[in-house]
Amino acid sequence: MKFAHFAHVWGKAGLTPAERYKQLWRELQLCDELGFDYGFCVEHHFRPEESWMSAPGLYSVAAGARTKRLRLGGMGHIVPLHHPLRLVEEIALAGVIHAIAVGFDQDLDEAEEEVTIVFRGR
């Protein structure tokens, strides 16, 4: 059986966004120490009620600097918001930086709503 930490970066009362990210990275450190296998996050834009995760690659690289063995990555990239080659390069670079295999998943279910928010406004 494999175990994973999955992060939707919802706000928490009394925490700034920076404090919330640090809290999640501490959770990943604990998961790493406990033998978890994966750490995933999901990309969202302009949806503070759901998630503050606009850059899964940055989050994963920062998490990798704090962990030793977790496989990290974005689970659900909003592909229409990225140039495909650039997205693949960023995911691959995260793997090179941490010398691990990284995961990739596209989130087409969320894409239409989030693309509409980005390009048409609320």
- Would residue 109 count as lying in a domain? yes
- Would residue 5 count as lying in a domain? no
Q: Which domain holds residue 114?
A: 37-47+57-122
Cα 29 to Cα 122: distance, rounded to the nearest angstrom: 36
> Percent helix, strand, coil in the chain (nearest 5)?
50, 15, 40
Please report, in tens digits, the pLDDT of each residue of the chain (122 residues total): 999 999 877 778 888 888 989 999 999 999 999 999 999 888 888 776 777 888 888 888 899 999 998 888 887 788 888 888 888 888 888 877 776 555 555 555 554 554 433 443 33
Q: Report pLDDT for 97.
A: 79
Q: Report pLDDT for 121.
A: 37
- Would residue 8 count as lying in a domain? no
Place of tokens 């793997």: 95
Q: Could you tell me how far CA 102 lies from the centroid of its own chain?
A: 11
- Would residue 88 count as lying in a domain? yes
- Would residue 102 count as lying in a domain? yes
pTM: 0.75
Q: How many domains does the chain have?
A: 1
- Would residue 89 count as lying in a domain? yes
- Would residue 7 count as lying in a domain? no
- Would residue 23 count as lying in a domain? no
